[in-house]
């Protein structure tokens, strides 16, 4: 049997006396949207910070296409094909929309040439600009190409954050609350975009999200975390009707939480 596309294997994370993840395992199938849900403080962002190698588990392993991530450094993660967004938008506010996308793409531009203006580097930079423009066109942000990111509305900034992550051409995209604070119309656009990424580009997505209307509509599978432990896993239908999940999370106004 081949290795899972992506997996956490018995991951433990401790902060002083606090056990943020208590031996958490889950597997993600290639080409799916896998949602990770649960109350605030459950450990969802900690999972993402482990994947990005900002946090190192005290136990367990994380494997992407069969390779352990634990010996890698944070800057290597985008290069092996894992892109992410942050719970709090991490754009370069003063740079333009296009420049932000190029920052995202920079991990794919070879930087090992001894001369900054080597033909290979210039060619790949020109290609990166073309690719960035195409991405902006696709999500309807072309119009804002040369506008500083800080001048965009909140919804557009969230969208740009996803585009920035996409610019590095990830095979796995991890999104931390992309719908938080968005209006219904913007959530619908995000829904279409994420489904398109999976269908048309074959990208795999791990989605941390409190907006249940989005999760239930697009997730193929859902894992539920509570206090660092997996309490349920299954299809949206299975999870929605699981009494433990309703009790720990869904029953407590998950829709309104941010």
User: Under the criterion CB under 5 A, does residue 204 sit at the interface with Mg ion?
Assistant: no
Closer CB to ligand ADP, residue 46 or residue 204? 46
Provide the minimum distance between the beta carbon of 40 and ligand ADP in the complex, in angstroms, as a whole number: 4
Q: Does 45 bind Mg ion (CB under 5 A)?
A: yes
Residue 187 neighbours by CB distance under 10 Å? 18
Residue 28 — φ and ψ, nearest 5°?
A: -120, 130
Query: Which residues, 105 to 134, sit near Mg ion by CB under 5 A?
Result: none
Closest CB 136 distance from ligand ADP, rounded Å: 29
96 DSSP 8-state letter: B
Strands (DSSP E) contained in the chain are 6-15, 18-28, 33-37, 59-64, 67-68, 82-84, 172-176, 204-208, 221-226, 229-234
The residue (of 51 and 98) whose beta carbon lies closer to ligand ADP is 51
CB of 53 within 8 A of CB of 86? no
User: If we measure between CA atoms, which residue out of 207, 135, 147 comes closest to residue 173?
Assistant: 207
Q: How many residues does the chain have?
A: 258
85 binds, among ligand ADP, Mg ion, none (CB under 5 to 8 A by kind): none
157 binds Mg ion (CB under 5 A): no
Closer to ligand ADP by CB, 40 or 241: give it: 40
Q: Which residues bind ligand ADP (CB under 6 A)?
A: 15, 18, 20, 38, 40-46
Q: Which is nearer to Mg ion, 158 or 171 (CB)?
A: 158
């Amino acid at each position: 049997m081949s290795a899972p596309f992506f997996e956490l294997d018995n991951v433990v994370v401790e902060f002083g006396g606090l056990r943020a993840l208590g031996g958490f395992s889950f597997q993600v199938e290639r080409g799916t949207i896998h949602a990770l849900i649960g109350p605030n403080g459950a450990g969802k962002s900690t999972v993402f910070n482990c994947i990005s190698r900002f946090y190192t588990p005290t136990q367990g392993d994380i494997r992407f296409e069969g390779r352990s991530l634990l010996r890698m450094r944070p800057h290597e993660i985008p290069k092996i094909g894992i892109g992410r967004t942050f719970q709090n938008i991490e754009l370069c506010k003063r740079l333009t929309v296009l420049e932000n996308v190029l920052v995202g793409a920079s991990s794919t531009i070879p930087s090992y040439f001894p001369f900054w203006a080597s033909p290979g580097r210039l060619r790949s930079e020109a290609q990166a600009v073309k690719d960035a423009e195409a991405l902006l066109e696709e999500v309807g942000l072309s119009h804002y190409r040369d506008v500083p990111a800080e001048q965009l509305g909140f919804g557009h900034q969230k969208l740009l954050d996803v585009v920035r992550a996409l610019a590095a051409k990830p095979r796995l995209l991890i999104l931390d609350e992309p719908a938080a604070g968005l209006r219904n119309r913007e959530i619908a656009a995000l829904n279409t975009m994420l489904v398109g990424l999976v269908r048309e580009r074959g990208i795999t997505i791990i989605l941390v999200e409190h907006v249940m209307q989005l999760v239930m509509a697009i997730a193929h599978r859902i894992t539920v975390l509570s206090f660092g432990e997996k309490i349920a896993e299954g299809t949206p239908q299975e999870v929605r009707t699981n009494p433990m999940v309703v009790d720990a999370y869904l029953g407590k106004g998950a829709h309104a939480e941010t």
